Amino acid sequence: MKKALFVVTSCNVKGETGIPTGFNLAEVTHPLEKLEASGIEVTIASIKGGAAPTDGLEDMSDPVIAKYLGREDFRNAIANTIKLDDAKVSDYDAIFFAGGHGTMWDFPNSPAVLKLVPEFYESGKIVSAVCHGPAALVNVKLSDGSYLVKGKNVAAFTNGEEEEVQSTHIVPFLLADALIANGAIHHNSPNWSNNVQVDGRVITGQNPQSAASVGEELVKLLA
C-alpha cells in the first residue's frame, strides 16, 4: 500500500494581528478523498503535533468537507496530528503540504520541513503542495545547495488572490514573489481558477479550487 504524509500548519494567528487562522479544510479533504479512493493511506502531521487549527473558512455546504467532518477517524486525525519532527521519510511515498494562511508563518523556516523535503525529493519520492502550502518549499535547498524550486514550474496562491482577500499587508511575504525570487517558474492563473503544475515529482496547485486536482495528480504519480 502506498502512503502519503499530509502536513498542516500549527499556527493559529496571523502574525501579531490577532486574526485567527489555521489550515484550510478543503485543501486537506479534497486531496484526501482522491487518495483514499485509490487505496492510498494518509497520515496527517503538523509542525507542532497535536490538535491542528482550522482557518474557519470551511464551506459546510461542501459535501466533501461535510463527509470528512462527519467521520470520527478524521476528526481524531486532525485533533491528534503527529509532530512533523517525528515523521520518517522511509515510511511514506509522498509528502503533501496543505494551505491556509497559518502556513506562511510556520512552514518556510521549519527545521523539520527544511530537513524532510530534500530527503523526500532526493530519495525519488513526491513533493506536493497547494495554495499557501508551497510556503514549505520556498526555502528548501537540496544537498548541492540549490533551491528545490529553482527552474521548477509551480503554482501557488497568487498576489492577486492575496490582494482580493485583503491580506497583502498581513502576510510576512508574498508567496508567489518568494518562489520566483528563489528561481521558480510561477504560473499565474486568474483568481480562484483551477491551476495545477506538475514538474517531475513536484506537484503544486494555486488555491482551494485546485486541491482536488492536486490529489488526482498525486494518485497518478503514486500509481
**Burial (CB count <10 Å: 0-12, 13-18, 19+), residue 160:** middle
3-class secondary structure, 98: coil
Question: Choosing from 27, 30, 33, 131, which is the catalytic residue?
Answer: 131
Question: Choosing from 30, 162, 186, 217, which is the catalytic residue?
Answer: 162
Is residue 132 flagged as an active site residue?
yes
107 φ, ψ (degrees, to nearest 5): -85, -45
Helix (H) or strand (E) segment spanning residue 76: helix 72-79
Is residue 169 flagged as an active site residue?
no
Cell 485543501, residue located:
27
How many Cα atoms occupy the beta-carbon half-sphere of 91 within 13 Å?
11
Instruction: Determine the Cα–Cα distance for residues 93 and 40; give it in Å rounded to an integer.
Output: 10
Instruction: Determine the Cα–Cα distance for residues 113 and 125; give it in Å rounded to an integer.
Output: 15
3-class secondary structure, 215: helix
CA distances, 121 to each of 6, 39, 66, 103, 200 (Å): 15, 22, 33, 20, 10
How many Cα atoms occupy the beta-carbon half-sphere of 82 within 13 Å?
13
Question: Choosing from 30, 132, 161, 186, which is the catalytic residue?
Answer: 132
Is residue 162 flagged as an active site residue?
yes
Cα 84 from chain centre: 13
Active site residues: 131-132, 162
